[in-house]
Amino acid sequence: MLSMYEIIRKKRDGLRLTEEEIRFVIKGYTKGRVPDYQMASLLMAMFIRGLDENESRVYTDAMLNSGQIIDLSDIPGIKVDKHSTGGVGDKVSIILAPIVAAAGVPVPMISGRGLGHTGGTLDKLESIPGFRVNLTIPEFKERLQKVGACLIGQTEEIVPADKKIYALRDVTATIESIPLICGSIMSKKIAEGIDALVLDIKTGSGAFMKEYEQSKELARQLIGIGEQFNKRTMAYITNMNQPLGNAVGNWLEIKECLDTLNGNGAEDLVEVTLTLAGTMIFLGEKADGIEDGIDKAREILRSGAAMDKFLEIVVAQNGDTHFLFHPDQYPKARYETEVKASTAGYLKQIDALKVGLAAVLLGAGRTRSEDEIDPKAGIIIHKKAPQKVEKDEVIMTLYTDNKQIIPEALKRLQDAIDYSETQPIPESLIFEFLDTSKA
Residue ranges that bind ligand URA, judged by CB under 6 A: 166, 180-181, 184-185
**Min separation Cβ 23 and ligand URA, Å:** 19
**Smaller CB separation from ligand URA, 184 or 437:** 184
**Smaller CB separation from ligand URA, 127 or 184:** 184
Nearest-CB residue to ligand URA?
184
Residues 6+ apart with CB under 8 A from 344: 389, 390, 391
CB 329 within 8 A of CB 345: no
Catalytic: which of 83, 164, 220, 354?
83
**Which residue, 175, 181, 234, 240, is CA-closest to 205?**
240
Q: Helices (H), strands (E): how many in the chain?
A: 17, 13
Q: Provide the pairing of β-strand 107-111 with 149-153.
A: parallel
**CA atoms within 13 Å, Cβ hemisphere of 381:** 29
188 assigned to active site: yes
Identity (one letter) of the amino acid at 338? E
**Which residue, 236, 237, 235, 255, is CA-closest to 245?**
255
Cα–Cα distance for residue pair 149/367, rounded to 1 Å: 31
Catalytic: which of 162, 200, 268, 351?
162
Element (H, E) at 307: helix 305-316
**Min separation Cβ 60 and ligand URA, Å:** 11
**Smaller CB separation from ligand URA, 90 or 312:** 90
> Is 287 strand, coil or helix?
coil
**Min separation Cβ 238 and ligand URA, Å:** 16
**Min separation Cβ 34 and ligand URA, Å:** 19
83 assigned to active site: yes
Catalytic: which of 66, 84, 127, 184?
184
**Smaller CB separation from ligand URA, 181 or 274:** 181
**Smaller CB separation from ligand URA, 201 or 405:** 201
**Min separation Cβ 176 and ligand URA, Å:** 8
Cβ neighbours around 219 below 10 Å, total: 27
Q: Which residues are catalytic?
A: 83, 162, 169, 184, 188
